[in-house]
Amino acid sequence: MNLNTYAVVGSGATGIAVTYYLRQRGFNVELIEQDDAIGGRIRPFLLGDRPVQLGGKNIGRSYRLFREFTAAMGNNPYEFFGLNSSQVQNNKLLTLDNNRRVQATLEFMSQGTPKDIWRFWNVCGAVIRNLQNGLLGGPYFNDLCRRIGDQSLSEYFSSKFCQVVMRPMTVRMNGAEPDEAYVGNLGSNLRMVLDTYDQLIHGMQPVLEQFAKTGPVRLNSRVESLIVRNGRVAGLRLRDSSGLQEREYAGVILATPATISSKIVASQNSQLSQILDTVNYYPVTVVVAEYARDIFSKKVRALVFNDTYPISNAGAYGINERNVIRYTFSGRTGRRYMKDGATPEELIRLAEEALNQHVPISGSDRIKYVAKYHPVGLCAYTSNYNQFANNLQTQLSQLPGLFLTGDYMKGASLEACFEAGKTCADQVVQAQEFQVSQKSELAAI
């Protein structure tokens, strides 16, 4: 391996992002993926012979970096998807969509106490005024945590407000219940609900295919540990079809989930491994099913469920594809079913029974489906993010040549992953410039 080449481990959104930004700056990068295709959770899967997105389907209008990336990858047009989500309140469906966002928001907020409303108004305003507050480590939320401590959402808001307003955000994005999510990280959820959405007309498949042509990709390769020489990360031990091998690199960027990165670094820095293990991940199962008729209407295109159901969300795949339904199973009840080994067929049946209470649906109308279970699925971050980030950097400084990025750095949305990837690329550039300057100084002595 050319010692001017950097390794990026993990080809999810953040791995793609850091690879993209480094290649833009002229770096040689090899992308390493343990699966047989790149994309991670944004990788498309086949519904019959059609690629569909189980993750990364909806692209916010504020996703500047990600949209620049898809444009750089060729002709990848978008179509309007909007914002549409309903839940049952007082035995009727209450819908939040682009046409009645203010009215519906007020109706949802009326479920809370005056203190809830005041606090929610303040945190929303912080994100609206500065989108950096919609990323982990945003200045408003860092300051808030310094003043009140990083409380769970269930401690900060009333129980009713958590169920109606907070839970639909956290269980879908993070797989977490309100008592498992923290005020300091709330900006990342608020940025999601304050946005409006499009989707790629042709899905993620052509984007990933175009990106794969920009440089070397090593598939079916599982990284087991780091190689460290003279106190510096100098390569990787990885296992592929030919067995265990060692490969040398100029530097290594781990863009895997924190729990996986923890295992890779454990033999070289146990403290760094322990810090990474404080990041919470929860399992998720996603199903896309096609039916013989429209299930949702133009007015109601998605329904969120409370914590008594294993399903957290059911929604139409597209604004005009209301016969294709995307089901998400996450949250504490969903976890129990997944842990007990519920099959996709069993989960779909439970989802159809739950949905049928409000939207007519029958399993007899189902034509086909595709399902994916992610045991390390949705990132719920960690408490006291600022302290976590500082501790992480302290330990990273003990392993020059190693860089970390992922959904736990800036947030789990596609745009936050690209923000994290870009930040990591900047760190690699700065480190190389420093290394070059050191060599120049030594040569001059």
pLDDT digits (tens, 9 = 90+) for 233-251: 999 999 999 999 999 999 9
**What beta strand segments (E) does 131-212 contain?**
197-200
Residues of the chain with CATH 3.50.50.60: 5-76+202-279+382-444
3-class DSSP state of 62: coil
Residues of the chain with CATH 3.90.660.10: 280-381
pLDDT digits (tens, 9 = 90+) for 343-385: 999 999 999 999 999 999 999 999 999 999 999 999 999 999 9
Round the average pLDDT of the chain to a whole number and report it.
93
pLDDT above 70 covers a percentage of the chain that reads 93
Under the banding of pLDDT at 50, 70 and 90, the label for residue 121 is very high
280-381: CATH number: 3.90.660.10
Which ranges in 178-286 belong to alpha helices (H)? 186-193, 205-212, 258-265, 270-276
pLDDT digits (tens, 9 = 90+) for 223-234: 999 999 999 999
194-221 as b/e, with b when 16 or more CB fall inside 10 Å? Answer: bbebbbbeebbbbbbeebbebbebbeeb
Q: Confirm whether pTM is higher than 0.85.
A: yes
Class of domain 5-76+202-279+382-444 (CATH, top level):
alpha beta
Task: For residues 270 and 207, give the distance between their C-alpha atoms in angstroms, rounded to a whole number.
Answer: 38
Under the banding of pLDDT at 50, 70 and 90, the label for residue 112 is confident
Torsion of CA 130, 132, 133, 136, to 10 degrees: 180
pLDDT digits (tens, 9 = 90+) for 130-175: 999 999 999 999 999 999 989 999 999 999 999 999 999 999 999 9
Nearest to 314 by CA among 344, 373, 280, 359: 359
Which structure tokens are listed for 103? 């009215």
pLDDT digits (tens, 9 = 90+) for 41-82: 999 999 999 999 999 999 999 999 999 999 999 999 999 998
Whether 273 has a pLDDT exceeding 60, the answer reads: yes
